[in-house]
Structures are given as structure tokens and as C-alpha cells.
Structure 1
Amino acid sequence: MRRLITFALALCLALPSAAHAAAPVALRTDTTDADGVVTLGDLFEGAGAASGVRVAARSGASVILDATAVQILARRNGLDWGNPDRLRRIIVRPGEEAPAASVRRGEVQALTYARSLAAGEEVRAEDLIWTRAVAAPADAIRDADDAIGKIARRPLREGALVSTRDVSAPVVIQAGDLVTVTYQNGGVSLALEVKALDAGAVGDVISLQNLSSRKTIQAVVIGPGQAATGPDAPKGAVSVATRIARR
């Protein structure tokens, strides 16, 4: 019995206690770094012993971090950030000790590629950085969220400015796929299985074929294997009620 009690005490001492739970921290209102290396201390107030934990390297005027990835890394290092503002991205800019990276007169902040991407690759948050440029083209993407999650239309070079012609929404329906198309009008909803004649991303209007009548209809893509049409369908859908009803 004495040995059992001794073993139990030793086990309790070896296990982490509630006193060592993750420490609540708050995101700094001005997330900057001074040396090009972003750490948990640069991001959070009260990071304590975890202040020196590296998060990312900043190679341009700023770096864009995925908020969820930062939250997970913080938790692994004993910090509890609840992300109360439900942020998706965290932008870290250079601090006062890095004046060379600041924007000068005649220059603009521009979104560029942090690495080269092959055609068909998905653009991720870590693939983009803000940097200085003499000018930005009219089709330059000025909000990182407009590029993240998109697919590269062609090979993209590291350091190149990000533009709308570089990327497109990921294709969720391929030509030949079986698709459920829904007709929506005043609370009435009819569903029909059809075959896609075109490929499309969410928001695209594509042609589909009724499997029974072989009639061609059009509908807007609303998700993988899903399309919609009718007056109450998402914007861009084509009203083809009579065609869908025919089998």
C-alpha cells in the first residue's frame, strides 16, 4: 500500500497542474517587429518566456500571418489568445528600428508574392507580403483576402506585384460532373440532377444538360456539385423554370 501511495504522489507531481494552464494574452494594437523576425513577443502583450518564439520572417515591408495558425502556435507555447475580434489575418509591419523598409515619398505599399508559384497552386497567406513599389497597376489586388485561397492562373514570380489577372477562384465543378441544380422562387424549391457541360468556380454561370430531356439549361455555381437558378437564386443565376421542369 505504501508503495502504491508513493507512486500515486510521484505521478501527480509529474502531471501538469491547473496552475500551469495557458496564460491569457492580448494581441498588440500595433503589431510590428524591428529586426525582420516576427516573434510571439512582437504579437502579444505579456508573452513572458514565450516572447522569443519565432513565428515568421519578414522579407518585405510587412508580412501577413494566418490568425488561426498564430493562435495554435501561441497555445503550444503556453499562451491563450482567444481572438475575440475573430481576425482572419494579422499584418506585421516594420518597427521604428527598421527605417529602410518604410514607404518613401513617391512609393506605395503593394502586395507581392513571397515565393514563386506554379500554375494551379493555391495562394496562401504566407505566400504574400507587403512591400514598397514605385507604383501599383490599376488591377493590383489591395486586400490580401482577395487573393488568399485563389488559384494561380499561370506561373507567378517571387517579388512580382499581385494582380487580379494572376489568380482565379478554384474550380468546384468540372465538365462531365453530375450536379444538383435547384430552382428557387418564392419559397418553392425544385431539385434536379443534371450533367455539367462546363467547368466553373463559385459564382460562375455554366451550362448543364437535363439527363432525361437532353435540354441545356444554365445556372450559377454555388458549391461543389451544386448549382442554382430561378428568381430567388444567388445573383447571377439564370431563370429557366420551364426548362428545368421538363424531364
Structure 2
Amino acid sequence: MKAFLLAAAATLAISALSAPAHAGTPVTLRMDTTDADGRITLGDLFDGVSGPAANIVVAPRMGPTAVLEAGQVQVSARRAGFDWSNSNGIRRIIVREGQDNGGVSTGGRALAGAARGNVEVLAYARSLSAGEIVQPQDLVWVKMAGAPMDAPRDADTVIGLAAKRPLREGAAVQSRDVAAAQVIKTGDLVTVTYDDGGISLSLQGKAMAAAATGDLFAVQNTLSKKIIQAVATGPGSAAVGPQAQGLQARSQPVRFAAR
């Protein structure tokens, strides 16, 4: 029994010595998350992390950017004794290649308007042309003095959408910047179908406007020249009737709802 108690005491002592020295220390996400050597560390990600803990590797960066799940990053920080509250509900953290500047990781290119502030805001990591599809590497979380009224709080709500106009590097992302990618352009030939209760009809038409999947747009019947309203279902295809109504209902979630 004495030997058992001694062993238990030794185990507790080792556990105490190995416990994180900064347990519960609050940290904040850096305004521009970058790393210089392909090893993304806690020091690269957070302000307030110092000493040996700053060199703890969270993930590798194999290309120009890496996309990290915020939940996993939060767990890694907690294991090292740090607390990132993630009060803005960020789901993804995009880390770009940067340069080492006296131990502080900075982006290879300064983000315009990314002044240090108290609000974490999603910003564009590069300039985008109208119609370009937003990719994960095109976004980065920064800190600014304030956020736009319609600023999305999750990168997932922007990735995969198309820029509605030219977007400037470093500018804060706004929901009105982007929209679903167009699958039909003005002047495209479109097959319009009606399908209900075993009855299936189709006609050829000319798109009178551009449309994304789920959008209602005008189509001119190539034979009768009449204009009808149809819902885009994909490249060169549209629907009318119950199928169109169902598609519209499914394609209208609140895309930028706050979390």
C-alpha cells in the first residue's frame, strides 16, 4: 500500500509539473493569419501567445494558403492552456503564406484598410473581378475598427458565390458583394420543361435575362415569340409549374443569417 501511495503521489506531481503554465489565458485571433515556414503555430494564429507555446504546431501549410476548422484550432489552443472565445462564431480560419518580421508573422502583402481594431471581419485576400467565384484562399479574417452592417460571420456563406462587381483586396466582405453563380446568360438557348402528374412537356426558348439556379427569369418561346417566366434549373435548362415552385422554395434560405 505504501508503494502504491508513493507511486500515486509521484504521478500527481508529474501531472502538476506538466500542466500548461498559461491555463485559461485568453487570446485573440490575429488580424492577418499568416505563417512564414509552412508550420502553422499558435503564435502565428493568436495574439497573446508567447514562450514555447508560441511554437506549438497546429497544422502544416502545403500551398499558398491553408484552411483550418476553427473548432479544431480552439481545441489545440485549449490543450496548450489558452482560451479563444471565438465570440464571432468563426467556422474557418484561412492562413496565408507570410514573412517573418522579428518573430511576428505578417502577410506577404499588406491588406488595405486592415487597421488593428476590436472587431474580427472577413476581408478579401486579393482583388476579384466581377463574375469570379470566391475561393477559400480569397478570404482572410482581419481586425478592423468596425464591420459593415451586412458583414457575413461565416466564410462558408461567401465561398462558392460569384462577385457581383470588382472587389478590392483588403476590403471588408459584404453580403451584397456576391451572389449565386449564373448558369444562364442573356441570349442563351434554354429548354423549358413542365412536369406534373405524369404529364411532361418541353419547349425551346431564348433567355431574356441572366439567371442563377433557382432564379425566376424571362424566356421567349422561339416559335410563338411569347414571353414566359421560368425558373433556372441548370446550364441551358429551366422549369415551369410545380417543379419550378419547389425549386424556388428550396433555393431561398437566408444565406447570410447571423449565427
Q: Into which bin does the TM-score normalised by the smaller protein fall? A: 0.5 to 0.7
Matched, 1:236 2:238: no
**2:242 counterpart SS class:** coil
Whether the 8 Å contact between 2:34 and 2:105 is mirrored in structure 1 is no
Moved over 6 A (4+): 32-35, 97-100
Give the alignment's TM-score, normalised by structure 1. 0.55
Measure the CA separation in 2 of the matches of 1:232 and 1:41. 48
Alignment of 1:90-129 (within 5 A): 91=93, 107-129=118-140
Distance 1:189 1:65, change over 3 A: farther
- Report the alpha carbon displacement of residue 164 of structure 1 after superposing the two structures with TM: 1.5
Aligned partner of 1:224: which letter? P
**1:232 counterpart SS class:** helix
- Report the alpha carbon displacement of residue 130 of structure 1 after superposing the two structures with TM: 1.1
Higher relative contact order (CA 8 A, sep 6+): 2
Gaps of 5+ in 1: 1-31, 43-50, 67-88, 101-105, 238-247
Measure the CA separation in 2 of the matches of 1:35 and 1:209. 51
Whether the 8 Å contact between 1:38 and 1:57 is mirrored in structure 2 is no
Aligned partner of 2:248: which letter? G
Distance 1:147 1:90, change over 3 A: closer
Measure the CA separation in 1 of the matches of 2:164 and 2:243. 32
Aligned partner of 2:67: which letter? I
**Which of 54, 59, 62 matches 1:55?**
62
Whether the 8 Å contact between 1:37 and 1:57 is mirrored in structure 2 is no
What number of residue pairs does the alignment pair up? 168
2:238 aligns with: 227
2:207 aligns with: 196
Matched, 1:64 2:91: no
Give the alignment's TM-score, normalised by structure 2. 0.53
Superposition RMSD on alpha carbons, in Å?
Answer: 4.0
Aligned partner of 1:172: which letter? V
